[in-house]
Amino acid sequence: MKKIFVLLLINLIFNNIALAESYYFKNCKLNEIISADYLIDLDNKIINIVLKTPGGDEQKLFDKIKLVEKNRIVTEKIKSSKSQDSYFIYYLDVDTQSVIKQNYKLSKVGEINLVKPVGVKQKNYCSDVKSDWEAVRKRKLKEKIIKTKNKEKEKRRKELEEKKIKSKKKKKTKKKKKKKKKETCPPGINKFFCFFFFFLI
């Protein structure tokens, strides 16, 4: 049951990635037999991996993203099958257009757990890379700023329009009151003096 759930989750992730911005490191040669495609889903902070063989066999996996920088994406620490205290991380490097893997080993000194790098970094080059997430981030930020400014302008325009309408209504009401006063003259008062009096007030 657990395996079925994991497979369904992987399929759902791979189907949804097409709806998001598309970034990837493809055709990365891991060894003489296996190549890999790394499909980056920044919205869900996941890297979807498709392992391939020349015979057409495929295996789909995914790893969580820990850090996104302008020139690389770093994964979270991943448990290695080598031993209980072995881990590794890898990052997709824009400058070298490669996948770089670093192995680590957990060692305990007293009550402190130390994670130390083991061996040299393994670098695997990729022939097809789309890594313009920084440019897209800047564009989206610019679009967001423009959208916010436009909303503020529209808000100010509506506020001014409402003030104008209120001012017009106020003036109209005031005129009506004056007119009513002018038209209403107390009994026994000369209309000329009444008109003159109300004109002054």
Q: Are residues 160 and 61 part of one domain?
A: no
Q: Which of 77, 107, 131 is the last residue of a domain?
A: 131
Position 146 scores a pLDDT of 85
Domain annotation covers residue 136: no
Q: CA quadruple 13, 17, 18, 20: dihedral positive or negative?
A: positive
Domain annotation covers residue 59: yes
Rounded to two decimals, the pTM is 0.62
Q: Are residues 24 and 97 part of one domain?
A: yes
Domain annotation covers residue 46: yes
In terms of pLDDT, which residue wins out, 113 or 196? 113
Q: Are residues 149 and 55 part of one domain?
A: no
Q: Which of 74, 104, 131 is the last residue of a domain?
A: 131
Domain annotation covers residue 100: yes
Position 195 scores a pLDDT of 54
* Residue 14: burial class (beta carbons within 10 Å; 0-12, 13-18, 19+): middle
Domain annotation covers residue 43: yes
Q: Are residues 124 and 104 part of one domain?
A: yes
Percent of the chain whose pLDDT exceeds 90: 39
Q: Are residues 145 and 127 part of one domain?
A: no
**How far apart, in Å, are the Cα atoms of 108 and each of 25, 83, 115, 119, 120?**
36, 15, 9, 19, 22
Q: Are residues 124 and 101 part of one domain?
A: yes
Position 8 scores a pLDDT of 52
pLDDT tens, position by position, 173-190: 777 766 665 555 656 555
Q: Are residues 106 and 147 part of one domain?
A: no
Boundaries of domain holding 116: 2-131
Position 193 scores a pLDDT of 56
pLDDT tens, position by position, 22-44: 899 999 999 989 999 999 999 89
Structural domains counted in the chain: 2
Q: Are residues 67 and 6 part of one domain?
A: yes
Q: Which residues pair with 143 in a beta bridge?
A: none
Position 82 scores a pLDDT of 81
Position 186 scores a pLDDT of 58
Question: What phi, psi does 45 have (nearest 5°)?
Answer: 55, 55
Mean pLDDT of the chain: 80
Q: Are residues 86 and 117 part of one domain?
A: yes
Q: Are residues 158 and 91 part of one domain?
A: no
Query: Is residue 197 predicted with pLDDT exceeding 80?
Result: no
Domain annotation covers residue 112: yes
Q: Are residues 120 and 172 part of one domain?
A: no
Q: What is the CA 60 to chain-centroid distance, rounded?
A: 25
Position 39 scores a pLDDT of 96
d(CA 180, CA 191): 14
**How far apart, in Å, are the Cα atoms of 18 and each of 8, 43, 72, 107, 135?**
17, 12, 21, 41, 19
